[in-house]
Amino acid sequence: MSTNQAPLFSATAIAKNFGGVQALRGVDFDVVSGEIHALLGQNGAGKSTLVKILNGVHPAGSYTGTIQLDGQPVSFASPADARSNGVGYVPQEIEVLEQLSVAENVFAGRTGLGDGVLVHQRKLEQRAAEIFADLGIDIDPRAYVASLPSAQRHLVMIARAIVMKPRVLMLDEPTASLSGTEVDALFAVLRRLKAQGVAMIYITHRLPEVLAICDRATVLRDGQVAVRIAREDFDAETFIFSMSGQRLQRLFPEHAAPVGTPTALEVRRLSVAGHGGAVHGARDINLSVAAGEIVGLAGLLGSGRSEILHGIYGRVLSEGEIHVGGKEVSIKSPADARAAGIALLTEDRKRDGLLFNLPVGANITIGNLAPLSRRGVVRGGLERNAIVAAMRALNVKASSPRASV
Query: pLDDT tens-digit profile of 180-234?
Result: 777 887 888 889 889 999 999 999 988 899 999 999 999 999 899 999 999 999 9
Contact partners, residue 388, CB within 8 Å, separation at least 6: 401
Question: Is 80 exceeded by the pLDDT of residue 258?
Answer: no
Angle in degrees, CA 201, 203, 206, rounded to 5: 135
Residues 284-338: pLDDT tens digits?
999 999 998 888 888 776 778 888 999 999 988 889 999 999 999 999 999 899 9
Domains and CATH numbers, the chain: 9-251 (3.40.50.300), 263-348 (no CATH), 354-393 (no CATH)
pLDDT one-digit tens code per residue, 22-61: 899 999 999 999 999 999 998 888 998 999 999 999 999 9
For position 278, what pLDDT does the model report?
Answer: 41
Distance CA 42, CA 349 (A): 18
pLDDT value at position 24? 94
Please give the radius of gyration of the chain, using alpha carbons only, rounded to the nearest integer: 23
pTM of the full structure: 0.71
Query: Quick one: CA dihedral 109, 112, 113, 119, positive or negative?
Result: positive
| CA terminus-to-terminus distance, the chain | 40
Parallel, antiparallel or unpaired: strands 263-272 and 282-290: antiparallel
Tens of pLDDT along 129-140? 988 887 777 889
Give the lowest-confidence range in 238-247, 259-268, 308-317: 238-247
What does the alpha-carbon distance between residue 170 and residue 211 come to, in Å, rounded to a whole number?
Answer: 18
| Nearest in space to 149 (alpha carbons), one of 277, 337, 5, 312 | 277
Closest CA to 101 of 116, 78, 122, 130: 122
**CB-CB neighbours of 130 under 10 Å:** 12
Residue range 227-242: average pLDDT?
A: 88
- Cβ atoms of 22 and 223 within 8 Å: the answer is yes
Compute the distance between CA of residue 99 and CA of residue 376 in angstroms, rounded to an integer.
40
